[in-house]
Structure 1
Amino acid sequence: MRIDTVPAHRPLVSHQRFDYDPIHQRALKAWPGGRRLAVYLGFNLEHFAFGEGLGARLAPAAQGGPDVLNYAWREYGNRVGAWRCLELFEQLKLPAGVILNTALYDHCPELVAAFAKRGDELIGHGHTNAESQGGMPPEDEFALIESCTRRIELESGQRPTGWLSPWIAESAATPDLLARAGYRYTLNWCHDDQPTVMRTAHGDLCAVPYPQELNDIPMIVARQMTGPDFADMIVDQFDEMLEQSTQQPLVMGIALHPYLVGQPHRLRHLRRALTHIVQAGQQDVWWTTPGRICEAASA
């Protein structure tokens, strides 16, 4: 067949938010203090409805009654796991980006207060992870974003500048609505190892890298990885990215959920992995939060 007779294909649907930009062609200044690798903890504090809605599952939902097993398993994170993780972060002197369901202000406000007291960044994460915002009409979605923003500011005195949608669920309008609400960055996109400027109807929105590989839900729940294996994965990711960062500054996020990594048998291995990063990266690692990464990238 002659080339000029090959049928034309229509262009694929595109998000139009950013252009293709291969990482090896970019120039980005070093992080504060001349550091090369920005590392942050994306610590998810979530609350779920009892007997309805979405939620990670340890086992199939019970038939004919409320799903006690999976609800109670997730609730362990708020009652026990998050407090154990908080102790670990304090021991290692690590900041956290706390990705927050506002339903926690009704359920266990003292947990949120404990992280806010130590100066951790609070990041919008919807009202509950029992619901998804992806299918909402635009004005309903904007109302959700606005109400969560106001609640965090009212309760904790800190207006959030970043957002992660529950279940990473977006509508086509989500970036526009976040920018309209005054947000500076989103964690919904996992397409890069450096921040990306996204186009919206209300100006630029920064996409700070949020991991879907270095993330305990897809690794432990979906792929059934063990605690030691997940810790080894964190160490391997760090060691390789630290080497890569000699060429250009990079971002490494670690996404954690306390009902998973707060289980004692996993917490021991998380402690090992984070201690390795602290000890090995004293000269070149910037322990930080997503908001500070957005600020530094925009400066």
Structure 2
Amino acid sequence: MLIPHHNRYAYSPIISRPDYTWPEGKRLAFHIGLNIEHFAFGTGLTHTPTVPIPAPDQRSFCWTDYGNRVGVFRLLDLFDSLGLPASHLVNTTLFEYAPEIVDSINRRGDEIIGHGRTNAERHGYMWEKDEARFIAEVRDEISEKAGQQVRGWMAPWMSVSQVTPDLLQEAGFKFVMDWPADDQPLWMKTRSGRIMSVPYPLELNDSPQMLVRHATPSDFEQMMIDQFEELLAQSDKQPLVFGLALHAMVVGQPYRLRALRRALQYISNHPQRDKVWFTRPGQIYDHCAALPDGVVTGHPAPR
């Protein structure tokens, strides 16, 4: 029976792929993706840690705003204390609302990933021309306001249309992070070439785990440690990517921050940390894009 398929990549079992290594012979690439999100007041989509109330829901707005006023800076301090690089999935409306956040990111030399204008909207419903304008607007805002040539994309709410990968590739983006199908990067087909998918987790993600599945901070701490230990062991067989998805308003809360600190200290001080490449998604892309064609699974290079 034929069923609809995206036709972006073919099935490829991880046990039958070519082997390669990360820089300096390392086997596990570790990256942090911190979501820094801005919401409209009294309209549009929002996150909420409690029962929704009719708009304007000032409680939910203030809870998300806590991440931008407090949580993000405490998280950056934590990353600094452990010497950990990070990438930041930033809504472009934050450039006007909270420019100090962008200044702090740039001082660290961290990478900004395109994350739409605001998480008050999804873009997967847009008509193609509107979506193309939307993607170009986000790209240009990051270049103008943050001074970075953005290369990676993670849509608000991981929302995509049938042509999102095509539009991103045509707008100059090099990789996406909202196709969570693998523990290795993979090349995806677009109508004008190819774009890379860099692993980013739907599971090891503080928002669905703690807001939807009601995991405790200690539960999430153990998940991070178990994920790290298992991927580290599995990386003896093939190079793997450990992505950690965080949100400033979720793990930026003090009692959750303490659990996150314990997990990151465990990972940073691990006796086998010499096998781990602490990196950012753009560096993962650069390394994989430089490998001979056919080493990274997925769509072959255009001829």
Q: Does 1:230 align with 2:220?
A: yes
**TM-score when scaled to structure 2?**
0.94
Q: Secondary structure at the match of 1:259?
A: coil
- Is 1:170 the equivalent of 2:143? no
Q: Is the 8 A contact 2:85 2:280 kept in 1?
A: yes
* Aligned equivalents of 1:26, 1:123: Cα separation in 2: 28
Give the aligned partner of residue 254 of structure 2.
264
Matches of 1:116 and 1:44 in 2, distance apart?
Answer: 16
Q: 8 Å contact 2:28–2:239 — kept in the other structure?
A: yes
Question: Which amino acid counterpart does residue 148 of structure 1 have in structure 2?
Answer: V
Equivalent residue number for residue 26 of structure 1:
17
CA distance in 2: counterparts of 1:173 and 1:297, whole angstroms? 24
Measured on the aligned residues, the alpha-carbon RMSD in Å equals 0.8
C-alpha distance in structure 2 between counterparts of 1:242 and 1:17, whole Å: 29
**What secondary structure sits across from 1:261 in the alignment?**
coil
- 2:142 matches 1:152: yes
Matches within 5 A, 1:107-186: 107-186=97-176
Q: What pairs up with 1:1-299 in 2 under 5 angstroms?
A: 9=1, 11-63=2-54, 65-280=55-270, 281-299=272-290
SS at match of 2:241: strand
Aligned equivalents of 2:227, 2:234: Cα separation in 1: 10
Contact 2:95 2:146 in 1 (8 A): no
Deviation of the 1:167 alpha carbon: 0.2
Q: Deviations over 1:97-138 (max 9, x none)?
A: 111100001110111110112100010000000000100011
CA distance in 2, matches of 1:104, 1:262: 17
Unaligned runs of 5+ in 2: 291-303
What CA deviation, in whole Å up to 9, does each residue of 1:213-239 have, x standing for no partner?
000111000001111110110000000
Q: Distance in 2 between matches of 1:157 and 1:57?
A: 32
Partners of 2:146 and 2:157 lie apart in 1 by 24
- Helix, strand or coil for the counterpart of 1:153? helix
SS class of match (2:15):
helix
Which of the two has higher C-alpha Rg? 1
User: SS of 2:226's equivalent?
Assistant: helix
Give the CA deviation at 1:22: 0.2
Q: Taking structure 1 as the reference length, what is the TM-score of the superposition?
A: 0.95
Q: Residues 22 and 287 of structure 2 are in contact (CA less than 8 Å); yes or no, is this contact kept in structure 1?
A: yes
Q: Tell me, what secondary structure is at the counterpart of 1:182?
A: coil
What are the Cα deviations for residues 60-79 of structure 1, in whole angstroms up to 9, with x where unaligned? 2223x410111111110000
Counterpart amino acid of 1:117? Answer: R
Structure 1 residue runs of 4+, over 2 Å off?
Answer: none
